[in-house]
Amino acid sequence: MNDTRTAGPSRRDLIKLAGAGTLALNSAPAAGAQAAEEQAAPGPCTARTFPADFLWGTATSSYQIEGAWNEDDKGESIWDRFAHTPGRIRNNDTGDVALDHYHRYKEDVRLMKALGAQTYRFSISWPRVFPQGTGTLNPKGLDFYDRLADELLGNGIEPFATLYHWDLPQSLQDSVGGWESRETATAFADYAGYVSEKLSDRIKRFFTLNEFATFVEWGYGAGQLAPGLKLPRARLNQVRHHAVLAHGLAVQAIRSRAKPGTQVGPAENITAAVPVIETAENIAAAERATRELNAGYLTVMLEGRYTDAFLSSAGPDAPQFTDDDLKTIASPVDFVGINVYTPTYARAIDAPPGYEVVPLSKSHPRMASSWQFVGPESLYWAPKHLQKIWNVNEIYISENGCGTDDTPAADSIVYDSDRIMFLRNNLTMLQRAVAEGVPVRGYFLWSLLDNFEWLDGYGTRFGLVHIDYATLKRTPKLSAAFYSEVIRRNALP
């Protein structure tokens, strides 16, 4: 593979990419793009601005970008094993090399800087730090995140670290059945406590686990994500319980071992019911629906109890738990992160449970991933529900973005008009929320770079920056110029 490590594009290149009109708008006559870089954002823009301290960033995860899957004494993860099993991933793609971010992280930080991003959400690979999941530490693994944190801070970018983005140490899957065992939850808390103790002098905010609902339902229920199991209902409910328990135990471990002031919260792909037509009845029904549709995850984390409907529908297959477990699961958090991709519409009905999910029409538009329908209203309703139902007063959109089918044009640029459309619509709805005082503090666009998209391998592209997988050359797409302009103005352009 060719080494294409270069200085990479600058902010000036992105301004050029945004178009001649933007350049003229932003620069003093004849002063060129440098002046545009230094110029402050345009004056107050009444309708479409975000709060002054709003944080704009991008998000990635370890397995999807790092590569170096067995370097520097890293342990095997369930995703290494799963992707190495023929037939599991489209084209049998693996994350063995991925984007080689492990070696090219400095170039990637420069890309973030060129965007003007203020923050970055990445994940720490548990088996890099503890190859067996527990026991012996691998200092070289931790060093990588140490260097990454320094590089980010040196470039004025605030790191947010996710402690679990699905790459469970394989050895825990082999020895205790992974999330089927309570021991995995306690091992996770030990690892979380250790990492936060070592890095919280520079990393001030941690997400515990990413998308409980996805890795549990698809990894242990439907068998489509690692570790590829199809457990019966009672065992699956126990997995769900251990995942939220791990979150609570990790919150406690971070509180006791990290530097004072370190903040922590979950990053969940909330199923946020959107009132299909905004009537008072449908809004109330959407709130009820949101509580129930998240009963095994966000609801129990924020309320400290499983809803009656959740327990009665599970019947004899309900998870085994204690009151202490519930207290732990609901340990107070500093913020709630939500990943928002695809809509769920609901409306009121007269019969119990008082709501129903409205099916999507056959022609409902989608993005390039088969699961991703278009529904920008979710960016308004998801944070709105968090505030209204659970009184959450610090919210991050920990992921939002879209998969597209990109091909570079003759000038090597990807003109991803669909991603720009998606972002403009989604951010318009998010702006509606913040304008009403919904306490959203920041937005992490998924993703900085095209990357390994789980089952889809490298076939679906989510990045602002295009990757040529033959050379790993990084080239910002037109959407990078759009997002950079959003950040610069702190408003919708």
Q: Site residues (CB under 6 A) for ligand FCB?
A: 61, 64, 210-211, 214, 269, 339, 399, 446, 453-454, 462
**How far is it, in rounded angstroms, from Cα 94 to Cα 160?**
26
Length reported for the chain: 493
Cis amide leading into 363 (omega within 30)? no
Catalytic residue among 217, 268, 399, 485: 399
**How far is it, in rounded angstroms, from Cα 212 to Cα 297?**
7
In 3D space, the residue among 445, 455, 447 whose CA is nearest the CA of residue 370 turns out to be 455
- Closest distance between ligand FCB and the C-beta of residue 454, in Å? 6
Catalytic residue among 211, 268, 292, 485: 211
In 3D space, the residue among 247, 240, 389 whose CA is nearest the CA of residue 313 turns out to be 240
List, in order, residues 6 or more apart from 244 with CB less than 8 Å away: 212, 296, 297, 300, 301, 329
Q: Which is nearer to ligand FCB, 14 or 465 (CB)?
A: 465
Whether 448 and 112 have beta carbons less than 8 Å apart is answered as yes
- CA separation, residue 149 to residues 70, 116, 119, 120, 122 (Å): 22, 17, 11, 10, 10
209 - beta bridge partners? 164
Chain residue whose CB lies nearest ligand FCB: 211
To which H or E segment does residue 440 belong?
strand 440-446
**How far is it, in rounded angstroms, from Cα 396 to Cα 54?**
10
Let me know if 211 is a catalytic residue. Answer: yes
- Closest distance between ligand FCB and the C-beta of residue 452, in Å? 8
List, in order, residues 6 or more apart from 29 with CB less than 8 Å away: none
**How far is it, in rounded angstroms, from Cα 490 to Cα 493?**
9
- The amino acid at residue 133 is G
User: Hey, how many other C-beta atoms are within 10 angstroms of the C-beta on 346?
Assistant: 27
List, in order, residues 6 or more apart from 152 with CB less than 8 Å away: 109, 112, 120, 158, 159
- Token duo for residue 99: 């984007």
Phi/psi at 338 (5° precision): -130, 135
Residue 170: is it exposed, middle or buried by C-beta count within 10 angstroms (0-12/13-18/19+)? buried
Q: Which is nearer to ligand FCB, 50 or 462 (CB)?
A: 462
Q: Label the pairing between strands 158-164 and 119-123.
A: parallel
Count of alpha carbons within 13 angstroms of residue 483, beta-carbon side? 33
Cis amide leading into 353 (omega within 30)? yes
Let me know if 436 is a catalytic residue. Answer: no
**How far is it, in rounded angstroms, from Cα 435 to Cα 427?**
12
DSSP class of residue 220 equals I
**How far is it, in rounded angstroms, from Cα 376 to Cα 255?**
36
- Closest distance between ligand FCB and the C-beta of residue 282, in Å? 27
Q: Which is nearer to ligand FCB, 105 or 306 (CB)?
A: 105
Catalytic residues: 211, 399
